[in-house]
A and B are shown apart, each in its own frame.
Chain A
Amino acid sequence: MNVFNRIIVILLSLAAIAFSIIVFLLVGGVVRPTQVSPGGFLLGLWRFFSPLNPTDATIAVLVCALVVIASLILLILELNIFRREPAQLVVRQDGLGKVTVARSSVRKLVGHEAAAVPGVIETRQAVDEGPNGLRVHVRVLLLPEVDAPAVGHTLQERVQKAIQGHIGLPVAEVQVATQLEPFEKPRRRRVH
């Protein structure tokens, strides 16, 4: 979803929350329709909610509560994009300019180094930025006959050495998780 669509979803969620809160206040008799209709805006709509009988009022409150919960979930999901880690990592910044590398390129290097370790069949890796350097997480599919702790240790050393030596980024930790079961394949999307 692009930024424009995300902004639309955020605005719609906020509108839904505001609408629900007004309905709560109207049903509860805290405010009158005229108080939430500046210049008569949406006055007819608010008047519909004002004189509800207890049964309809309960249904309206339940529906609005569900709308608020759904809107809050959407808001949290959409606003989370602002906390996402950047797609590129700064390798060097000096008076001559900045050198950055795509996170995906660092992942590729990790994959290349991991695949070169004997006994490794397949890898999945993630790279996060921490305060003291990169945090690398590698899931490794191993041959059943190999010594998993030894391979894991070798892999940690190789990955750390490769990122620091070949890219020039500090590495804070390399976490390796080994497994013997094949990785789950990503589901194919249908293209219409």
Chain B
Amino acid sequence: MLPLDAGSGKVEAQTPTAKMVSERLSDMDIANAIAHAIRDVPGVLDMGQGLFAKAATHGPGKHIVGIVLRHPAPGVLSVEAHVVLDETTFIKALSDASSSSDKTPILLRFTDQIRAVVSQTFEHLGLPVPTMVDVTIDDIR
């Protein structure tokens, strides 16, 4: 079916919203893509299980551990990522930090990378960047 204004020949670019997202991609698909992307971040050993309750996105018959997607309001999506950092990489970063001029705490460098990766994943999926990205370091091992 043609849109009502098809005759005008004008095509308007639409900014994707979370409502459109839910029509195209499920939370499980999004969480899966984020988890895969985060696992590839140097220094991330695995996704975390959560400290209090199990942090996961649940779908029919399966769940994605370490990623919690929330819809605080219609059209708004926030992400909570739980990660386990690799102790060897973290300690190496500690020793490298003494020679570095960057004064950002090492932990925040890791979490900034994770946030950036989450945003990039949303962009790759053609989705609006989430309003909030909470990152929790569940463990360093």
Contact = CB atoms under 8 A, between A and B. Distances in A.
A and B form one complex: yes
A166 B106 CA distance: 5
B134 A100 contact: yes
Contacts of B136: 88, 99-102
A102 B132 contact: no
Contacts of B135: 97-100
A123 B139 CA distance: 19
A83 B27 CA distance: 35
Contacts of B134: 97-100
Interface string B96-126: 0100000111111001000100000000000
A165 interface: yes
A104 B106 CA distance: 17
Given A87-B52, A92-B108, A99-B108, A105 B137 contact: yes
Interface string A142-180: 000000000000000000001011111000000000000
Nearest to A101: B137
Interface string B32-49: 000000000000000000
B25 interface: no
Contacts, number: 71
Interface residues of B, number: 26
Interface residues of A, number: 22
A32 B104 CA distance: 72
Contact of B115 (A88, A96, A108, A166): A96
A112 interface: yes
A169 to B, nearest CB: 8
B107 A102 contact: no
B18 interface: no
7 contacts: A96-B133, A97-B133, A105-B137, A165-B106, A166-B97, A166-B105, A167-B105
Interface of A: 87-88, 91-92, 96-102, 104-105, 108-109, 112, 162, 164-168
Interface of B: 51-52, 78-79, 85, 87, 91, 94, 97, 103-108, 111, 115, 132-140
